[in-house]
């Protein structure tokens, strides 16, 4: 069984990596978007730590998923909330766990429906391998190799905690 690191240990490291990346790329006024739900919880923490001026955006990618017909719709789908213009913005896209890459693909599709950003930086707390699409995070809190019957879940919003669960 793999052990879970604490989000409280990962977030400061992620903030430092993100600050360095933004400085390296000459980005001083990015916008941040979290993917519902765990990505929004993580984005709230990063948004505050980085003192980003624009409001925090939230994406609910339910209708953009390519497995929508297989998994169905959650009964409480909330709309996306993007209270800034997307066009030519430097976007920090935040999700809790990067696995197959399909959630990120869906998020990018939705973002581009709002406009064409100047760039997108992908931030994830956990990179758990098993990619099905060629998507990689720019900033990652931890990389974990999980077994085929394991998945990791971010619980929150307060406090944030990571939990590895056995699947059947």
Taking the C-alpha atoms of residue 139 and residue 1, their distance in angstroms, rounded to an integer, is 25
Tokens of 125: 């707390």
Cα atoms in the Cβ-side hemisphere of radius 13 Å centred on 19: 12
Instruction: Mark the ranges of the chain whose per-residue pLDDT is less than 50.
Output: 68, 71
What confidence score (pLDDT) does residue 112 get? 95
What confidence score (pLDDT) does residue 129 get? 84
Taking the C-alpha atoms of residue 70 and residue 79, their distance in angstroms, rounded to an integer, is 21
What confidence score (pLDDT) does residue 62 get? 80
What confidence score (pLDDT) does residue 163 get? 94
What confidence score (pLDDT) does residue 70 get? 52
With beta carbons less than 8 A apart as the criterion, state whether 94 and 45 touch: no
Task: Give the chain's radius of gyration (CA, Å).
Answer: 15
Whether the model clears a pTM of 0.85, i.e. scores above it, the answer is yes
Taking the C-alpha atoms of residue 139 and residue 155, their distance in angstroms, rounded to an integer, is 20
What confidence score (pLDDT) does residue 20 get? 98
What confidence score (pLDDT) does residue 167 get? 85
Q: Which CATH code is given to the segment(s) 28-65+80-147?
A: 3.40.50.2020
What confidence score (pLDDT) does residue 65 get? 59
Q: Where are the domains of the chain?
A: 28-65+80-147
From first CA to last CA, the distance across the chain in angstroms is 15
What confidence score (pLDDT) does residue 1 get? 54
What confidence score (pLDDT) does residue 74 get? 53
Cα atoms in the Cβ-side hemisphere of radius 13 Å centred on 117: 24
The SS3 of residue 112 is: helix
Cα atoms in the Cβ-side hemisphere of radius 13 Å centred on 98: 26
Taking the C-alpha atoms of residue 141 and residue 160, their distance in angstroms, rounded to an integer, is 14
pLDDT digits (tens, 9 = 90+) for 106-127: 999 999 999 999 999 999 999 9
Across the chain, the runs of DSSP E, i.e. the strands, are 31-35, 57-59, 90-98, 119-127, 139-143, 150-155, 161-166
What confidence score (pLDDT) does residue 162 get? 95
């Amino acid at each position: 069984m793999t052990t879970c690191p604490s989000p409280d240990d990962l977030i400061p490291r992620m903030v430092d990596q993100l600050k360095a990346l933004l400085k390296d790329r000459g980005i001083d006024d990015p916008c941040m978007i979290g993917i519902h739900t765990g990505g929004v919880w993580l984005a709230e923490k990063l948004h505050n730590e980085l003192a980003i001026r624009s409001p925090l955006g939230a994406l609910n990618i339910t209708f953009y998923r390519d497995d929508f017909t297989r998994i169905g719709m959650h009964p409480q789908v909330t709309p996306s909330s993007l209270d800034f213009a997307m066009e030519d913005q430097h976007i920090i896209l935040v999700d809790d766990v990067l696995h197959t890459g399909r959630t990120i693909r869906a998020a990018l599709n939705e973002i581009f429906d709002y406009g064409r950003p100047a760039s997108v930086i992908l931030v994830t707390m956990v990179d758990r391998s098993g990619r099905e699409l060629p998507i990689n995070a720019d900033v990652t809190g931890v990389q974990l190799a999980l077994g085929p019957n394991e998945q990791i879940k971010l619980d929150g919003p307060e406090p944030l905690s990571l939990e590895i669960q056995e699947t059947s």
